[in-house]
Chains A and B, each alone.
Chain A
Amino acid sequence: MSRRLRVNPIACEAHGLCAELLPELIRLDDWGYPIIDVAEVPPELVGLAERAVDACPTLALLLEEDTAAPLARPGGSPPLTG
């Protein structure tokens, strides 16, 4: 069962701990906000990912089970509006 990283962008306040703890998967943009380069976490990094989730001061970093459901991802397809 694979795990996916996701940021709640409303909760995120650019503290940057996630990128510091998990540079293999997360980097910061020009304004200090996280970009998840690799959402699906390799098994050997799951432990570190869990630490990063715990470290986020605003609980903005999420580690979710990969349900492969398109409705679960923001910015994914298709939005149910209109």
Chain B
Amino acid sequence: MTLAEHLRVHGELPQRRPQELIGAIERSGLRGRGGADFPTATKLRAVAAGRRPSAVVVNGSETEPASAKDRLLLTRLPHLVLDGAMVAARLVGAEEVIVKVGESAVGSLQALEGALAVRHDDPVPVRVVAAPEGYVAGEESAVVQFLNGGPELPTFVPPRPFQRGYRRRPTLIQNPETLAQVALVARFGERWYRELGTAADPGSALVTISGAVAAPGVYEMAFGTSMADLLDAAGGPTERMRALLVGGYFGTWVDASQIMRLRLSREELRSVGCTLGSGVLIVLAESSCGLHETARVIDYLAEQSAGQCGPCVHGLRAVADGVAALAAGRRNGNVERVTRWAAEIRGRGACHHPDGAVRFVMSALSVFAQEIEHHRRHPCGAQPAGLPLGRASVRRSGREDGSGRARERRTAKPLRLR
């Protein structure tokens, strides 16, 4: 969307008083969309309270292979994201905005370059930084270390970036979707944001749906939408479903029968051991093998360890080998041993990479217990559906017609995210 289109669809960005605007964001209930789901207003206040915040960092790393929402936003709506970053910079008192993306995000880099060329009224300077990619490169301390001139690897915390980050000063790091929502709340207010969703889970989220659905892609979904409606928005399942992976590789597996009666709600997802995380949803068909998929992914996650912490380096490799043994039905496949290592690794890395990987594996051992049993006796005939590793496999991004139940109640206002 060009700047002219952006202003036509979204309107001008009003200048509200910072305290007023942070209050509006707080009342909107907006939470971070990068995976941690942290209340945005709380984070803004924490950085604003610091001494001389240095920067607002738009964390466009998007290292979940099956996620495509951030590059969609940066490519199609760079002005909205930049507006949000400018709002945030004003709210926390930062001196600059830095947009960080992966080196291969050519579309985003081009769109950002084009957008910046026509923006002349931004209160602080913006620069775009492209960094080497890797699963842990999007972790906030890794982003900070990279911006400070080091490798894109996590560091030991505290201090956290909001305390001491870029240039050793308080730094606000936000996901592009979060900032896009900030830009919209700044324009339209908290009541507008809360028109979608439920009282407990207001608003909407960008969800990247892939796997065994007819129309994989990025969809804006109001919280409270039923999982059935959510999958229908993506064209519906192409065959009988075995399980869903909710939250990407940092998320958890859940049996299809368990989740399909639920809605997109934090409480309901929690009841089946899931959180939406960065909005990645992968549908696994019955004809696929969840155990083989899990083995491939945990092998990838083990390879993607930053290599800095013994428990992660050694532990994830052992867990990955253990899951591979289970998938191959080898006699030395041992669920108890994998479970013990998993329990021991938790919390002992500098970042949460091992925690996420372990949680992912434990959910697989639970959901695919039958497959584990079966593999002991019979080799698996199912071909791996091929969960993506390293790059998203989403073929379509965004819906051209702007339809979807999520927007029906808001046709009077400009479309939020197109």
Query: Is there contact, CB below 8 Å, between B348 and A80?
Result: no
Query: Is there contact, CB below 8 Å, between B158 and A78?
Result: no
Over the window 300-311 of chain B, the binary record of Cβ atoms lying under 8 Å from chain A Cβ atoms (1 yes, 0 no) is 000000001111
CA A34 to CA B104, docked complex, whole Å: 38
Out of B46, B140, B318, B346, name the residue touching A75 (CB < 8 Å). Answer: B346
B88-96, B172-180, B259-267, B392-400 - interface stretch: B172-180
Query: Is there contact, CB below 8 Å, between B156 and A12?
Result: no
CA A30 to CA B43, docked complex, whole Å: 39
A68 within 8 A of partner (CB): no
B344 within 8 A of partner (CB): yes
Q: Which residues of A contact B188 (CB under 8 A)?
A: none
Out of A9, A71, A82, name the residue touching B348 (CB < 8 Å). Answer: A9
A74 touching B32 in the complex, CB below 8 Å, given contacts A31-B314, A79-B38: no
B315 within 8 A of partner (CB): yes
A1 within 8 A of partner (CB): no
Query: Is there contact, CB below 8 Å, between A81 and B139?
Result: yes
CA A10 to CA B153, docked complex, whole Å: 11
CA A8 to CA B155, docked complex, whole Å: 10
Over the window 23-63 of chain B, the binary record of Cβ atoms lying under 8 Å from chain A Cβ atoms (1 yes, 0 no) is 00000000011111110000100100000000000010000
Contacts across chains A and B counted by CB atoms under 8 Å? 91
Query: Is there contact, CB below 8 Å, between A74 and B350?
Result: yes
Number of interface residues of A (CB under 8 A): 24
Q: Which residues of A contact B174 (CB under 8 A)?
A: 82
Over the window 16-33 of chain A, the binary record of Cβ atoms lying under 8 Å from chain B Cβ atoms (1 yes, 0 no) is 000000000000011111
CB distance from A31 to the nearest CB of B (A): 4
Query: Is there contact, CB below 8 Å, between B33 and A30?
Result: no
Query: Is there contact, CB below 8 Å, between A82 and B352?
Result: no
B223 within 8 A of partner (CB): no
A9 touching B309 in the complex, CB below 8 Å, given contacts A29-B344, A35-B348, A82-B33: yes
A7 within 8 A of partner (CB): yes
Query: Is there contact, CB below 8 Å, between A10 and B156?
Result: yes
A81 touching B38 in the complex, CB below 8 Å, given contacts A29-B315, A71-B160: yes
Residue of A nearest to B352 (CB): A79
Residues of A45-74 whose CB lies within 8 A of B: 71-72, 74
9 CB contacts below 8 A, A to B, read: A9-B312, A10-B309, A12-B310, A31-B314, A31-B315, A71-B160, A74-B350, A75-B352, A79-B140
A→B interface (CB under 8 Å): 7-14, 29-33, 35, 71-72, 74-76, 78-82
B→A interface (CB under 8 Å): 32-38, 43, 46, 59, 139-140, 155-158, 160-162, 173-175, 178, 278, 308-312, 314-315, 318, 341, 344, 346-352, 355
9 interchain residue pairs of minimum CB distance = A82-B34, A75-B347, A82-B32, A9-B309, A33-B310, A31-B314, A81-B36, A82-B36, A10-B308
